[in-house]
Structures are given as C-alpha cells and as structure tokens.
C-alpha cells in the first residue's frame, strides 16, 4: 500500500492561502469544484480503521481503499484506481453485500508546488481547511512552513480529525460516515449538536 505523507491545517481563510500559494509560485491545478463520494464500510473494515470510497472528482472517478494506521503525518495508507461510472461502481459493491453507508459532498481546489499537492477543502458544517500532501514528511513540513503554518497546529487523519477539532463532543465512534447524507445547505445534524 502507498503511504501518504499529509497534514491538515484547520479553520483557515482560503483567500489568504490562495494568495500565499500564488506568492510562492504554486500552480492552480483544479479550481474549486463539487465532489461527491460514497463511503463503504463494514465491521471488518472498521476494525482496521479502513473504508472504501467511490469519489466523483469532476474530471475522474476514483475507487480507493483507505486505512489509517495511526494519526500521524505518515499514518494514511491507500490503494486507488480510476473507474468509469460512479453509480455502477457503488451498485457493484451493494450487489456484493457492501452497500454504501453515506453519500457525502465536499468542495475541493487543488494546487501543486515542488512535487507537493495542496488542497483547499470545504465540507458541510465545517470551517475551511487545507491539506498538504508530499512524498516525505520533510517536504510536507517545509511547505507548511513556507505557507506560514506552525507544525504544532497540524492535524492528522481523515476529515473526522477536522470535525472533532471543531465539535469536541464527538467520540471516536461519532463520524459523518454515520450520516446517510452529508450535503451542503442541509441543517446541522443532531450528531454535530453539542449535547451539553
């Protein structure tokens, strides 16, 4: 499995980051676009902190097995292939006994710089964040520093790391994957409401 070296920086201003990316000479690879994904999990995958994801990225559709061995810069492992039909791929898994648990929307803008990728992400009910991915921990740290981030503020893991930072009452078992639909414009779900 491929190891991903990545770090998130949360609660940021995308316009400020865009300017910093332009200032250092980064290239806009994909403007902000709506993405749709189906999350497929079962108990066996959950035990391994893993899931399958079918994602329509606008210009391609990917099928990914993603596993988080730990919450660190190199904790994400993945296998990814390109498929040609979102609905048919989701249907194939459902027919084989692996139905999707959640359909989720997000928005993403992708920049590249010096063999690294910076994505500006937006999710429903979540403050904007960025993710920096490169071929080594050192490269991620270097680019984070060039963009003005303190490494001590880095967050690791999937999008739930950002949700848990913003909604600290969430337990490890509380995930947006438990919501059948995660969609822009919908009201805040009970899962994210502080129960205090």
- Evaluate whether 153 touches 35 at the Cβ level (below 8 Å): no
Report the topology of domain 2-172. Hypothetical Protein Pfu-838710-001 (2.40.320)
Torsion of CA 26, 28, 34, 36, to 10 degrees: -70
Q: What is the pLDDT of residue 133?
A: 96
- Evaluate whether 131 touches 7 at the Cβ level (below 8 Å): yes
- Spacing of C-alpha 195 from chain mean position: 26
pLDDT band at 196 (very low <50, low <70, confident <90, very high): low
pLDDT digits (tens, 9 = 90+) for 115-145: 999 999 999 999 999 999 999 999 999 999 9
pLDDT digits (tens, 9 = 90+) for 141-164: 999 999 999 999 999 988 999 999
Break the chain into its structural domains and give their ranges.
2-172
Please give the model's pTM, rounded to 2 decimal places. 0.89
Residue 3 has pLDDT above 90, yes or no: no
**Dihedral sign (CA 132, 62, 99, 42):** negative
* Percentage above 90 pLDDT, the chain: 81
Residue 2 has pLDDT above 90, yes or no: no
C-alpha 122/C-alpha 38 separation (Å) is: 17
Helices (H) and strands (E) counted in the chain, each on its own, are 5, 9
Q: Kindly provide the b/e burial profile for residues 154-173, where b requires at least 16 CB atoms within 10 angstroms of the residue's own CB.
A: bbbbbbbbbbbbebeebeee
């Amino acid at each position: 499995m491929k190891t991903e070296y990545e770090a998130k920086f949360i609660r940021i201003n995308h316009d400020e980051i865009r300017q910093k990316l332009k200032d250092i000479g980064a290239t806009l690879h994909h403007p902000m676009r709506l993405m749709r994904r189906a999350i497929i999990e079962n108990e066996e995958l959950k035990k391994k902190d893993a899931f399958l994801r079918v994602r329509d990225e606008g210009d391609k559709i990917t099928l990914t097995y993603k596993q988080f061995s730990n919450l660190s810069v190199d904790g994400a492992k993945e296998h990814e292939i390109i498929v040609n039909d979102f609905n048919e791929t989701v249907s194939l898994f459902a027919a084989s006994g692996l139905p999707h648990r959640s359909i989720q929307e997000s928005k993403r803008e992708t920049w590249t710089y010096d063999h690294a990728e910076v994505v500006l992400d937006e999710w429903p009910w979540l403050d904007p964040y960025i993710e920096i991915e490169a071929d080594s921990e050192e490269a991620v740290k270097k680019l984070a520093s060039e963009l003005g981030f303190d490494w001590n503020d880095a967050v690791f893991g999937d999008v739930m790391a950002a949700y848990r930072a913003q909604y600290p009452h969430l337990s490890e078992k509380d995930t947006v994957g438990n919501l059948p639909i995660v969609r822009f414009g919908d009201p805040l779900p009970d899962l994210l409401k502080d129960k205090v």
